[in-house]
Amino acid sequence: MIDCGITGTASGNIAKLPEVTSHFYALNSGWAPQLRIVNAKWFAQQPSEVQEWLTLASAYFEQEMAWPTQIHNHKMGLACTACEESCETEGGFTVYDSTVTYPTEAELETVQASVQSHVLPNVAANCGDACVADWNDTVGQLVGITMSQ
């Protein structure tokens, strides 16, 4: 018996959570980070062709593999959990006939306000002025939320 669980749409389906509950609330609260890290000293010592190849390969991986895979798995997690026709069981997904409820606009606005008033001030306090400026110039513009200290 479970009272509540927080997980990804794909991982929840693959972990067979629909076998122990019948209702799912599809509030996407984040994505797993995708990053590739290289030692700057090592990278600077590589020939320019290697640096260029690594940079292009990383961008290719992100745009052509990582994001499409995450989006596909998210959609399949929901579709298979809700027994929708678009469900593809490849990759470990199982078809269930659960009720999936999506957040309303008002609920999404509440989440955004909570992130703005509670989460981001804590992040800003820990990451400093340069981090806040970078976030506001990138992610903040993308999602329409400004971070401040």
In tens digits, the chain (149 residues) has pLDDT values of 566 777 888 999 999 999 998 899 988 776 666 677 899 999 999 999 999 999 999 999 989 998 899 899 999 999 999 999 999 999 899 999 999 999 999 999 998 888 888 888 999 999 899 999 999 999 889 888 889 87
Determine how many CB atoms are found less than 10 A away from the CB of residue 138.
10
Cα separation values, 117 from 52, 69, 90, 128, 149, Å: 41, 32, 41, 17, 11
Distance from C-alpha of 83 to C-alpha of 15, rounded to nearest angstrom: 16
In 3D space, the residue among 110, 136, 111, 107 whose CA is nearest the CA of residue 124 turns out to be: 136
What confidence score (pLDDT) does residue 60 get?
94
Paired strand residues for 139: none
What residues contact residue 86 under an 8 Å CB cut-off, 6+ apart? 75, 79
Distance from C-alpha of 115 to C-alpha of 97, rounded to nearest angstrom: 32
Distance from C-alpha of 70 to C-alpha of 55, rounded to nearest angstrom: 21
Distance from C-alpha of 24 to C-alpha of 5, rounded to nearest angstrom: 9
Paired strand residues for 24: 100
Report yes or no on whether pTM surpasses 0.75. no
